[in-house]
Chain A
Amino acid sequence: MKKRDAELRDELKSHLDMAIADRIARGESPEAAAAAARRQFGNLSQVEEATRDVWGRRWLDHLAQDVRYAIRTFRRNRAFALIAILSLTLGIGANTALFEVVDAVRLRSLPIADPGGLLEVRLASMDGARGAFQTAHESVTQPIWRELEARQQGFTLFAWSRATFNLAAGGEARPVDGLWVSGEFFNVLGLRPARGRLLSPEDDRTGCAPRAVLGYGFWQRNYGGDTSIVGRTINLRNRPIEIVGVVPPGFHGLEVGRTFDLALPLCAEAVLSLNGKGRSEAGTTWWLVTFGRVKPGWTLDRATAHLAAISPEIFRSTLPAGYPAISIEKYLAMKFIAEPGGQGLSQLREAYETPLWLLLGIAALVLVIACANLANLLLARATAREREISIRLGLGASRGRVIRQLLTESLLLVTIGTICAVFLAGAMGRWLVAALETSDRAITLPLIIDWRVLGFAVLLAVATCLLFGLAPAIRATRVSASSVLRVTTRGASAGRESVALRRGLVVVQIALSVALLFGSLLFTRTLRNVLSVDPGFRAEGLLVANIDSARMRLETDRLVAHQDLVAERVRSIPGVQGAATVAVVPISGNSGGNDVWPEANTSARFNTYVNFAGAGYFRMLGIPLIAGRDFDARDKPESVPVVIVNEAFAAKLGGTSAAVGQRITREQTPRNPAKTYEVVGVVKNSAYRALKDDPYPTMNYAGTQDQPYPDMQLMIRSSLPPTATTSAITAALANIDSRINVDYTIVPTMIGDTLVQERVLAALSAGFGALAAVLTMVGLYGLVAYSVTRRSTEIGVRMALGACAGDILRLILRETALLLAIGVGVGVGLAIAGGHTASSLLFRVRPYDPITLLASIALLAAVAFGASYLPARRATRIEPVVALRTD
């Protein structure tokens, strides 16, 4: 390379020498000849460059040269390089981390064969479905699944459902995540076992001997990856179950964000159930999700049409006896549809998709602010380097070449920043997932730096580089070569244009910061509002014990006695202040509802939440009774059915005092005929399904009038720490019978878990808002400091003419005020638009809340004047004599 350069130089030199020699031969003086020949030859280095261009490879040389040069520049300007790389790392890192999570929950396909061909076959609508719903997603009952499987021909289908298996034989539960899968599950997904074999249709026959397949993680964790696992057994509900194989690593089922430890064939659900039938016969338990692929020889359209055609037969033949009359028509009209299912299901996706996209948007804005900052820094540097650049242009460097060199500096910053960002993104992504995790929902979300994430980061980097690097580079080279001669010690010729550009950038920063601060304040207020919601009861010290005595196989009478004994023993534990049974734990997210009407007036039908409350439930929770009486010993199974309603319910009956004594009819349900109850009491409103819900009619049946179930839900208030209480309860239960299973929920923790979205949004948006404010502060500080330097002569003159420090301060701060006014004007528009987008995530704060808006403007104004004050103070200390001397 070097040799070739030298040869080219020799060649051109020989050209020049010959030209000079010719001129001398023609009689010119040597000096005149040399000058004329040179003039005719033109710019030597430009000719050299143009020729080297022909060689190709040149851009590589230039790149290496530019990179070396850029590194040297950065070494001399460590502070600049550090700030630049740090803000790029944070900006790109935050974006990449959020994208990584969005990618994992939203965009990535399941790790199965041909995910694009996997379809979800589901009900178009669940309008006609009545009964018990065990999935958050559309699902079907076992009879519907059997009919669907038997009648349809266009798909290879499978059904599955999530389950929790208990590995403990008694005492405190050892829950593991399980899956019920129908025979074709693994075949359709096209998975290859890591060990042994996977389940096949032969394993899923009615009355089967249950076999199990292990999740890869469970096999590693619980068995240390034991290679002799196949053929061993695992105990579930006191039955040994043969392990036939292990699924491949990376496969976590069809629900993104969840994983499973054990998969059992669907037939085992009945076999392992206490009554030997399980949910198989119930036509009103909706729990199976169906997926499949189009069979060879069928097209999707034909298969879907076929599905629609057979839907009526399926629902006609599965209509459960005693189905509520009001819902029969809708049940018969239900239809199946097929939808792409290659990305699986995800509650996580449904719950967090909007917040995640929103956060990604916020992070992108922060990156834009960071870019504006860098552009500002580069512009300032370009002004400082004006001399250097004009010398280089004067020496014959082409403008494109200098732009390229300046862009290389930006590119180098971005490259370093992006590499750091990708590492940071991994940690930030894991932190975010951990923050979304709750005590009852572990999230298994493989965060993989795949091509999409890398592509995103690179794209971001390139956009960033152009965004902050290009304008300053173009601007910097717009100096004429001769201007170098005019430039004095200060970059006075940078001119108004450059300052205007820098002001524009600061205005952009201010506008975006106002919007981001507004957003973070909205989310912070939302969190505060949610936290300050009065649930209507005291949550501290509450816990729920789910006590399952099913394995004792008690008859109804003995079960009632047994459960009374259990409750009594729990109540007698020191520190326990009360215990009462309840069907739906408040704020657990669960709910049950029915239509009701005053007995005499069918047309006054309205919907209500329902619950079962044991004696002493309201007293223990601290929900005041405001009319009538509490449940007591009078409320026996055979006595008049009674209910206690809340104020919202009573309001429907003409008010609290009017409600007591009224008779209320509840509609027919799949399992029960319509029934009439007497309202004996009214309690104050309290939270039922979620903290954020408005008061809704709620009707509590007497727990003592309900038929007893072997699993009892006991709500307990204790003055001891939760762990002390739970271990005391576990011990007390073990004392009664070793076959009792129990697991616990701590109510304050459970309530906290329902606020994850609000917490994460508040924390992240506050973080981003603060970052935006800091970046804007840096940008504004730089601009004002620059302007003070630029105007120091003017300031000196003014002071010499008698201006006082206050005048100068006002002079400098006036600029800040102007920028702030423009920025805020634009920012308010952005903020209101942004608030509108986020309105579904807000709680009891309007998306255009004026007070919040004013607060964010005030906050930013404080930041802006804080940033301007230091340089403005410096301006007031300018010595007129010194300032005047510099020119």
Chain B
Amino acid sequence: MSTYMAKRERYQNRIELLQGTLDLLVLQTLQWGPQHGYGIAQAIQAGSSDVLQVDTGSLYPALHRLEKQKWISATWKLSANKQRTRVYRLTAAGRRQLASERSRWQTLVDAMAGILARPQESQS
């Protein structure tokens, strides 16, 4: 029982990523160049000023899912400190996917902003 409770508490301390948004973030991050999983996680964290914490349990399934969709491709490379790492890069299809995901995201953000910007009706 205690384990479940611990889990629930941990979730409260960060913003959970919406379904599918992690894919968009990964694609966006890879736009700047090939990167390994750790690098992607760091970049997202840093880019969001530590608001977004990337759970490895979500990141790697996402990476492998995107690879399966052929939106990114992976190769083994030696990192700066001579370690073998798996490096992902955006494919042409991935670039197109990113563009369409971005516009969909923009639509969503605009729609949400429109609704949220409406003055709250007072309840009397």
A residues with CB within 8 A of B: 7-8, 10-12, 14-15, 17-19, 21-22, 41-43, 46-47, 50-51, 53-56, 480-482
Contact = CB atoms under 8 A, between A and B. Distances in A.
17 contacts: A7-B76, A10-B86, A11-B60, A11-B86, A14-B36, A14-B79, A15-B41, A18-B79, A42-B57, A43-B57, A46-B57, A47-B57, A50-B60, A50-B61, A51-B61, A51-B63, A480-B3
A481 B63 CA distance: 30
Looking at A15, A46, A47, the one whose CB has the most chain B CB atoms below 10 A away is A15
B56 A12 contact: yes
Nearest to B86: A11
Say whether chain B's binding surface is mostly helix, strand, loop, or mixed: helix
Interface string B33-56: 000111101100000000000011
A874 B116 CA distance: 74
B118 interface: no
B60 A47 contact: yes
B84 interface: yes
Given A43-B57, A51-B61, A53-B61, A14 B68 contact: no
B2 interface: yes
Nearest to A16: B38
Looking at A42, A46, A53, A54, the one whose CB has the most chain B CB atoms below 10 A away is A54
Contacts of B39: 18
B37 A15 contact: yes
Given A7-B86, A15-B37, A480 B61 contact: no
Nearest to B81: A21
Given A12-B60, A50-B61, A480 B1 contact: yes
B37 A482 contact: no
B57 A19 contact: no
A54 B64 CA distance: 7
Nearest to B65: A54
A14 B2 contact: no
A50 B3 contact: no
A14 B83 CA distance: 7
A19 B85 CA distance: 13
Looking at B1, B41, B60, B86, the one whose CB has the most chain A CB atoms below 10 A away is B60
Contacts of A50: 57-58, 60-61
Contacts of A46: 57
Given A41-B56, A47-B57, 8 more contacts: A14-B38, A14-B79, A14-B85, A14-B86, A15-B38, A22-B42, A50-B58, A480-B1
B56 A47 contact: yes
A15 B36 contact: yes
Contacts of A481: 3
Contacts of A12: 56, 60
Contacts of A43: 57
Contacts of B68: 54-56
Interface string B13-41: 00000000000000000000000111101
Nearest to B3: A481
Interface in B84-103: 84-86
A43 B39 CA distance: 20
Contacts of A19: 38
Nearest to B41: A15
B61 to A, nearest CB: 5
A534 to B, nearest CB: 74
Contacts of B60: 8, 11-12, 47, 50-51
Nearest to A10: B84
Contacts of B57: 42-43, 46-47, 50
Given A11-B37, A47-B57, A482 B3 contact: yes
A46 B56 CA distance: 10
B67 to A, nearest CB: 9
B27 to A, nearest CB: 16
Nearest to A480: B1
Contact of A54 (B3, B61, B79): B61
Nearest to B37: A15
Contacts of A482: 2-3
Contacts of B65: 54
Given A15-B37, A18-B83, A19-B38, A55 B56 contact: no
B86 A480 contact: no
A679 to B, nearest CB: 92
B7 to A, nearest CB: 10
A105 to B, nearest CB: 54
A112 B64 CA distance: 56
Contact of B84 (A14, A47, A53, A56): A14
Contact of B64 (A41, A42, A55, A480): A55
